[in-house]
Structure 1
Amino acid sequence: MQVGVTKKQHRFLSQTIKQAFEMKKVALPWNRALCAGLCVGLPSLIGFWLGQFSYGMLAGTGGFAYLYVASEPYGFRAKKILFAALGLTFSVAAGTLLAPYPLLAAFVLGCIGAAASYLFGVLKFKGPGALFFVLSFTLATGMPPDPSQAFLRGGLVFLGGMLAWCFAMAGWLLRPHGPEIGAVRQLYLDLGSLLNDAGTREYSRARHQTLLSMYSAETTLATGGFDRRSDVTPRRLSQMYSLAHHIYLITDKISLAAGEKLPPELSAAVRRVGEACGQPDVWVRTPLPDDLDPRIRDLRDLVGQLDAIFSDAEPEGEQDRRKLTRTPVRSILEGNLDKDSIVFLQAIRFGVILMVAAAAAYAFQLNRSYWVPLSCASVMLGATVIATFHRAIQRSLGTILGILIASAILWTHPEGFVVSIAIMLFTFFTELLIVRNYALAMLFITPNALLMAETNTRIHNFGYFAGARLTDVLVGSVIGLIGVLLVGSRSASSRIPYLLGRTIRSQAQFLALLFIRQPASASAKLSLILQQRSMRRHLSNLRTVYQTALGEIPRSEEELEKLLPVIWSLDQFGYVLNSYALSALRPVLPDPELGAVLLHLEKMAQSAEQRRETEEGPEGTDGLELPLVPDIGQELADLRHALNGR
């Protein structure tokens, strides 16, 4: 018995190590890498030309704000990068002020890391998270202690951040609606795949992928901050999103027999819309079949309306256009301050372990001890325990090889122009290769960090820096890995049953408010909005917990695989409920029917919590018969089947 377990553990360990050095097959971000290199290296080059090279190096720290650029609308990006620059400025100023007080600095570092981790987690910002705020703070604590320099150092970082802001917003001059166009294009490509996969085993997966694209497009368009009345492109994108919503819903209602598929012309037409999105001049209408099954005619008519959108005409049914909604940021931040929010708990864990790492580095009087919490933060940025283990391996090995590269460079004592160009190149290759493999990127991160530290302190002692770097990276990586294993190795999977029940109950409460007769008062509308936000928050938290559970050690592969259709079904049910919330003509369910639905949902919530099969509905194995809202009845049946198949 013991031998079997040992073989299984050995196989798991070898597979995990192999995955740590796996090269991801993704496109290289050439433009992003080039801009990042210029944002970080150009300030030092300007400082060199002005005779203030050390000031330029410090301003380059603000250039890290560019690394927080993602595919968001430019109006939202302007605010995001501005706040990132302000965060880096605050981190450097605070690190300068607290450098003489190591224990207090360790506490504040943990608070900065926890706050940044929470913000980026609940707002679902992609990118390096809290890493560069931690880096900025720790680098400031490693400079010669002088609290009087806090304002000057912070100001220089802010100037570098504003340069990054200019680079981040440069694309607005050429394609002001580029991110919105990209989101709608991806939506139509996924919608085309959905139509193509209808009637096949791949339909469920394609439906969920399209649903995620719907959410992404809605969020992108809602945060665009444009006036649809005065700009043709945003209005067209809004119409396309609304039409995609109706195509998605009506496709899901079409019942196909085994082996039966939708006409391929429909899928081709929708895909062509995605390819022509943002380029109406290249739009060519795809001929649609006239003699169709009556079940498919409504779908054919909706696809045919796409031509009207590209012709700048008002498509039929425009009065039913789906509204774009966005949850206020304040509501998102406050709503996730909950003991069951995995993002909140991860942020607390991140901050506490960061404090421990900084305090340990000070207690053991390690040289250049700020690398310890920095390495700890980098390792903990892994979204799961396995990802954290990957980061620890990648960072340790990458650092060792990176030091060899740094040896050849620092041995020549480079200065001025050479340093600036080297920083640009290292940052460029870091951003270019980090999407492929983190260990490969570490080959450039390590010499870049050593070069910046050596230049700022002006102490030409490579052995001092390299030795400290190697020791501190290993110590920080070990602290981060141990902390994650001790604090959160099984915290996610243990919460899933409870969160499933809580999510189903939040959907039941939202459904009750949707379909009961109530006065059209401001308080009733507010209650509906608040419950809708609560449902969305629970769904988002459940998805996050599930993704976290996938990377836990140990984990039940079979159980998690059975849970995936349940997550998809809950997402779909939530989307249908949101659609009813946007309709002013939704029906009022009679009390017996509404009571039966709520009872059915409560039984499913209890079954999910207790990990047992759900009882049959009052109307039999197919769930509930709801003539006024048949799609709700179908979604309840699908959810019950998903839970029972778990």
Structure 2
Amino acid sequence: MSIRTTLKGLVALNEASRPWHLPVTAGVTIGAPAVIGALTGTFNDAMIASLGAMVFLYMSPNRTTSRMLTMILCTFGFMACLTVATLAAAVPGLAPVGLFLIALTVIVITRYYRLPPPGSFFFILSSCVAMAMPFEFAAIPMRVGLIALGGLWAVLMAFIYSLCTGAHKTTSIPLEVDPRVNAILLEALFLSICISGAYAFALSLDLDNPYWVPISCAAILQGATFRMVWHRNIHRIVGTSIGMLLASFIFAFHPSPIVLALWICVLQTIVEVLIVKNYGLAVIFITPLTVIMAEITSSGMDASVLLEHRMIDIVLGSVIGFVAGAIFHRTGLFRSLEQKMDERSRLSELLFSRTHESNHSDQ
């Protein structure tokens, strides 16, 4: 592949587009809890509710009833991930194990039921953010409740949006599952090891905000092919560098909580417009959005300090994700393992069938 072709692929704008009201609704839905929190003096707690409101991004292109069911199940998933992540982070050294179990579970479920992008990503992101929060056992019910409130708010907004856009009149799309169970298990096991391993490695380096390493690794591994993994790697590093400048500009004015809450609405709307066009452009606006939503809430550090250290975390996580993606997509290891597992499964089914027939004939 020539350099010109590679560069063209990196800067190309996809023809896919969304109706203008969908990004705007997403921005309002995710930013509204932050606005309420800023007005009531509970901005930090409201950020957890805004994280739960990201369930809105899982609204499927299906009938209203299917949309509601999917989003409610995703809300319960967010609640479970936050609970397990918080408890795992309470025990030194157990956080990577907890992240492995969370990632393994959500990747298997989202892959089996063919949940479209963002797939397992936000479940992993919310888990990493929860692990970075100061552990308070008594605060767990409140945090889970805030996630639930944010999710239910997103479900309500999705219901209103679906009624306004006539989704209840569309033809229902039947639920499809991926029958390649062995391939899903192998992929989930490998990706979970890479994501949790990235977190363990970041912890061993004693980084200031280590959770961005597994988040970046997971974002890179969202690519369905090696070419997409490579593009996402470049997009994330370059887009984050530019996005850090935008974040520095925002925080240079020492914005109040209400201003930051409004920025969340604006940035989320822009991200939803650009994410289907070009991932690199979207990352530019994802960077300040995540700084506002995750880092200030979980760590309590000064924003300027966070911006100075984050580039290392992003590059490290992106490199780990790229190497893992190369191993997964560019080698025939997992394909051969899948074939062997399929052969053993067919052999087991054949033996079971013959044994069953033999027992039946004896009777």
TM-score range with shorter-chain normalisation? 0.7 to 0.9
Of residues 217, 221, 231, the one that matches 1:380 is: 221
2:74 is the counterpart of 1:84 = yes
Partner of 1:60: 50
Question: In the aligned structure 2, how far is the partner of 1:45 from the partner of 1:99?
Answer: 29
Count of aligned pairs: 343
Structure 2: segments with no counterpart, 5+ residues = 351-363
Q: 1:372 and 1:496, CA in 2 relative to 1: closer, same or farther beyond 3 A?
A: closer
RMSD: 2.6
Q: 1:419 to 1:369 in 2, by over 3 A?
A: same
Counterpart selection for 1:410 from 246, 251, 274? 251
- How does 1:487-636 map onto structure 2 within 5 Å? 487-491=328-332
Instruction: Give the distance between the partners of 1:31 and 1:164, measured in 2 at CA.
Output: 15
1:109 aligns with 2:99: yes
Tell me how far 1:463 sits from its aligned partner.
3.3
Q: What are the within-5 Å matches in structure 2 for residues 313-328 of structure 1?
A: none
1:16–1:386 CA contact under 8 A, matched in 2 = no
Structure richer in helix, relative to its length: 2
Out of 174, 177, 181, the position equivalent to 2:168 is 177
User: Is the Cα–Cα contact under 8 Å of residues 29 and 431 in structure 1 kept in the other structure?
Assistant: no
1:349 to 186, 190, 196: 190
Cα distance 1:98–1:495, how it changes in 2: closer, same or farther (>3 A)? closer
Matches within 5 A, 1:134-533: 134-174=124-164, 175-180=166-171, 220-222=172-174, 332=177, 336-338=180-182, 341=183, 343-457=184-298, 459=300, 461-491=302-332
CA contact (8 A) 2:296 2:303 kept: no
Residue 114 of structure 1 aligns with an amino acid whose one-letter code is L
Amino acid in the other structure paired with 1:396: I
1:369–1:454 distance in 2 versus 1, CA, 3 Å: closer
The residue identity in structure 1 corresponding to 2:181 is: L
Preserved CA contact (<8 Å) 1:426 1:448: yes
Q: Provide the rounded CA distance (Å) in 1 between the counterparts of 2:338 and 2:77.
A: 37
| C-alpha displacement of 1:442 | 0.7
The amino acid across from 1:438 in the alignment is: Y
Q: CA deviation at 1:140?
A: 1.2
| Distance (whole Å) between structure 2 residues aligned to residue 72 and residue 484 of structure 1 | 31
Question: Counterpart of 1:159 in 2: which secondary structure?
Answer: helix
Using the size of structure 2 for normalisation, the TM-score is: 0.87
Match of 2:38 among 48, 61, 76: 48
Name the SS of the counterpart of 1:177 in structure 2: helix
Query: Secondary structure at the residue paired with 1:413?
Result: coil
User: For 2:174 and 2:292, how far apart are their aligned partners in 1?
Assistant: 43
Contact 1:95 1:138 in 2 (8 A): yes
Deviation at 1:413, TM superposition (A): 1.9
Instruction: Give the SS at the match of 2:134.
Output: coil
Preserved contact between residue 86 and residue 130 of structure 2 (Cα < 8 Å) = yes
Measured in 2, the distance between the counterparts of 1:459 and 1:171 equals: 35
Per-residue deviation, 1:90: 1.8
Deviations along 1:294-317, one digit per CA (max 9) or x if unpaired, are xxxxxxxxxxxxxxxxxxxxxxxx
Counterpart of 1:362, as a letter, is L
Corresponding residue to 2:108 among 112, 118, 130? 118
Residues 379, 177 of structure 1: alpha-carbon distance in 2 compared, 3 angstrom cutoff: same
Amino acid at match of 2:159: M
Deviation at 1:102, TM superposition (A): 4.9
Larger radius of gyration: 1
After superposition, the C-alpha distances for 1:51-76 in whole angstroms (9 at most, x for unaligned) are 32222121101011011112122222
Percent identical residues: 29
Q: Distance in 2 between matches of 1:455 and 1:142?
A: 11
Gapped regions of structure 1 (runs ≥ 5): 1-10, 181-219, 224-326, 510-646
Contact 2:62 2:173 in 1 (8 A): no
SS across alignment from 2:94: helix
Q: What is the deviation of 1:345? A: 1.9
